[in-house]
Amino acid sequence: MTKTWVTPGGVHPPENKHQSLTQPIGHLPIPAKLVIPLSQHIGAPASPCVEIGQQVLKGQVIAEATGVVSIPMHAPSSGTISAIEHRPIAHPSGMLAPCIEITTDGADTWIEHQGISDYEHIAPRKLIEMVGNAGISGMGGAGFPAAVKLNPGRQRPIHTLIINATECEPYITADDSAIRERAGEIIEGIKILSAILDHPHNILIGIEDNKPEAIAALAPHVEGTGISVVDFPTKYPSGGEKQLIYILTGKELPSGKLPADLGMVCINIGTTYAIKRAVINGEPLISRVTTVTGDAVATPRNYDTLIGTPVSHLLEHNQFNEQAGGRVVMGGPMMGFTLPSADVPIVKTTNCILAPSYAEIPDDEPAQPCIRCGMCAEACPVSLLPQQLFWYAQAQDHDRLEAHNLFDCIECGACSYVCPSNIPLVQYYRAAKGEIRHARDEKVKSDHARERFEFHQARIEEAEREKEAKRAARREAAQQAKASPMAANDSTAGSSAADIIAAAQARAAAKQVSPQEQRAKLERTIAATEQRLQVAEEKLAEAVASQSDKQAVFSAAVENTKQKLEQSKSKLAELAE
Ligand code: SF4
Ligand code: SF4
């Protein structure tokens, strides 16, 4: 048995996984509309490369990656592009973001595609390119582009590949069911990863001991491959990169460092399956396994769901009982968030739609004052001081929050879960992180603005110096001309004085505005003055109607504007003569 280590903190919330594991992974009818957000990952959003009205095939690129840290988007089914616009996306605030809508044709016709089976003979660079072109981002966390993760650079050779098969949130069984049914393809994906990373010495699949069926499903496929399935006691949370690396290797990932800095790469098991489909089958990432569960749905189970499927479509096909449950959560009860609307689409990171009944997950109790019990600190898997972070977040003390490593918080919610005062601690941390990021962005913007201003000032000063130098040269030339009384008659000095006079006349001529320009300027002035007169007359009429004491002010303004208008008109008439 492989040695494992125990992380600090953690909790044991009651499990509710069995409900969604009674049936195999299902498939839903293709929705009439699919909505694909252009940003489902960390990094730059994809840029649309289709037009409204265009026919697209399943798997066709509809938006291209826009940088190194970006991924393309593909059509999850065939149909017609019916909108490219901002739509509500899965976010606690109900925010809008750019999306592409496809009206499906029901035929589900694939674009021509082809994979490769002899990946061992393909250059890693080419395999990484295939992963990138397939639009694969991490499917278990924040959605980091997989191709970037698989390219740690020559200076950071990878000796350990960790496959994250933990699924510690109560209720979620998407990875568990995928391993039970797709173990062979997952192991094939791990072999591709091994080839890309130049065959690391250790390949470890980390999985909790509450998934015996999944562990048994992996066993025959890993035999003789050098891949180890490492199970460890179930505890929430264990699925963060930092926690899993510690559990499997005993190595601590320092704050601000990446697993690659320790010679490790950590990939989610769902992502591993997507990599197999991309390389061997030539398929982009257009669907994922999503758990639909909770007492408010009639048939909790896992579905192979097309990206872009509205959450409402999943609920309708599971006889969602709105009376039994008031809210729909994206993710699990610990780290998920309540959706403001069920019209948002499933994205590449959506592992669960939870529709609990009121009895199952009651509404949050009102928060009480902190009693300084310290239970939150005991539960924190990152050894932070949640109580202190809470105070600093309330005080918006950003410096102290950063000094207390707020950004190491993985937002697992273990502290909120144990808090006897029902303080929604993790919500304070999320909000504080948002404020700090916003403040940093604003600082960058103001630094840029200051640099632009200083550059502009320097240019003005430089131009002023040049002008002053020219003025000094002209003064000197004029004094020289004055100093010689015969200058005008002297053939040599005369030419210098004549030159100065000619240059001055040329400058004066250059400054003169042509009649056409004068006319255009006057016409613009007349139009603007007429507008001002209209506004002033309206205000005067209002003041008269309401017998306001401002009548005199507006009447003077009207007279004044009329005079200016007359002056401009008469100047224009003079010019015409
Ligand atoms: S668990 Fe809640 S009440 Fe106890 S110290 Fe932490 S914040 Fe305060
Ligand atoms: S949410 Fe953050 S502070 Fe709270 S237990 Fe998890 S890691 Fe610690």
Band the pLDDT of 65: cuts 50, 70, 90. Answer: very high
Decide if pLDDT at 487 tops 60: no
DSSP bridge partners of 330: 337, 353
For range 57-80, the mean pLDDT: 95
Question: What is residue 322's predicted lDDT score, i.e. its pLDDT?
Answer: 85
If you average pLDDT over residues 485-505, what whole number do you get?
58
| Ligand 2 binding pocket includes 384 (Cβ within 6 Å) | yes
Whether residue 495 is predicted with pLDDT greater than 60 in this model: the reply is no
384, 423, 425, 428: residue to mutate for ligand 1 pocket, most atoms within 8 A of CB: 423
pLDDT score recorded for residue 557: 81
Q: What distance in angstroms lies between residue 117's CA and the mean position of ligand 1's atoms? A: 55
Quick check: 552 pLDDT over 90? no
Per-residue DSSP letter, 383: -
Give the three-state DSSP class for 430.
Answer: helix
- Nearest atom in ligand 1 to 390's CA: 7
Token representation of residue 485: 């009384």
* pLDDT tier, 150 (very low <50, low <70, confident <90, very high otherwise): very high
State pLDDT tens for residues 389-437. 999 999 999 999 999 999 999 999 999 999 999 999 999 999 999 899 9
Res. 496 pLDDT band, cuts 50 70 90: low
- Residue whose CA lies nearest to ligand 1 atom number 7: 387
The CB of 380 under 6 Å from ligand 2? The reply is yes
Which CATH number, 3.40.630.30, 3.40.50.300, 3.40.50.880, 3.40.50.11540, labels domain 18-354?
3.40.50.11540
**HEC letters along 28-39:** CCCCCEEEEECC
Q: How far is the CA of 187 from the centre of ligand 1 (A)?
A: 43
Ligand 2 contact, 237 CB (< 6 A): no
Which residue, among 44, 50, 37, 32, has the nearest Cα to 98 in the 3D structure? 37
Nearest to 273 by CA among 184, 180, 186: 186
* Neighbour tally for 429: CB within 10 Å: 24
Q: Which pLDDT score is estimated for 492?
A: 47
- 332 CA distance to ligand 1 middle (Å): 23
**pLDDT one-digit tens code per residue, 248-276:** 999 999 888 899 999 999 999 999 999 99
The structural domains of the chain, with segments of one domain joined by +, span 18-354, 374-512, 515-576
Is residue 225 within 8 Å of residue 219, measured between CB atoms? no
Ligand 2 close to Cβ of residue 193 (< 6 A): no
- Please give the distance, rounded to the nearest whole angstrom, from the Cα atom of residue 91 to the centre of ligand 1: 27
Q: CA–CA separation, 148 vs 153, rounded Å?
A: 10
The pLDDT, as a whole number, for residue 9 is: 94
Provide φ and ψ at 56, rounded to 5°. -130, 150
- CA–centroid distance, 453 to ligand 2, in Å, is 42
- Mutational pocket test of ligand 1: of 11, 364, 368, 370, the residue with most ligand atoms within 8 Å of the beta carbon: 370
Is any ligand 2 atom within 6 A of the Cβ of residue 379?
Answer: yes
Q: Which of 27-36, 61-70, 97-106 has the lowest mean pLDDT?
A: 61-70
Among 396, 390, 392, 400, which residue's Cα sits nearest to residue 427? 390
At 220, which helix (H) or strand (E)? helix 212-222
* Atom 5, ligand 2: residue with shortest CA distance: 380
End-to-end CA distance of the chain: 105
C-beta separation of 134 from 278 below 8 A: yes
29 vs 323, more confident: 29
490 pLDDT above the threshold of 60: no
Count other Cβ atoms within 10 Å, centred on residue 484.
Answer: 15
Question: Does this model's pTM top 0.85?
Answer: no
Q: Decide whether any atom of ligand 2 lies within 6 Å of the 423 Cβ.
A: no
For range 499-511, the mean pLDDT: 67
Quick: pLDDT tens for 426-467.
999 999 998 999 898 888 888 888 888 988 888 898 899 899
pLDDT at 361: 85
The pLDDT value recorded for residue 146 is 94
Sheet holding 47-48, edge to edge: 47-48, 61-64, 73-74
Q: How far apart are CA 532 and CA 539, in angstroms?
A: 11
Residues 339-375: tens digit of each pLDDT: 988 999 999 999 999 999 988 888 778 899 999 999 9
Amino acid 549: pLDDT: 62
Residue 243 Cα to ligand 1 midpoint, Å, equals: 23
Quote the pLDDT of residue 510.
64
Mean pLDDT of 79-93: 92
- Does the CB atom of residue 393 touch ligand 2 within 6 A? no
Residue 154, pLDDT > 80, answer: no
Give the mean model confidence (pLDDT) for residues 37-61.
Answer: 95
pLDDT tens readout for residues 123-133: 999 999 999 99
What is the DSSP code string of 174-194? HHHHHHHHHHHHHHHHHHHHH
Q: Does the beta carbon of 411 sit less than 6 angstroms from any atom of ligand 2?
A: yes
pLDDT at 311: 97
- What confidence tens digit (pLDDT) does each residue in 182-229 have? 999 999 999 999 999 999 999 999 999 999 999 999 999 999 999 999
Atom of ligand 2 nearest to the CA of 408: 7
Q: How far is CA 29 from CA 118, 306, 314, 316, in A?
A: 35, 10, 10, 11
Q: Residue 491: what pLDDT?
A: 47
User: What is the predicted pLDDT for the residue at 493?
Assistant: 46
More confident residue, 1 or 456: 456
- Name the residue with the closest Cα to ligand 2, atom 6: 412
For residue 85, what are the CA distances in angstroms to 306, 339, 382, 409? 20, 20, 40, 34
Asked if the model's pLDDT at residue 547 lies above 70, the reply is no
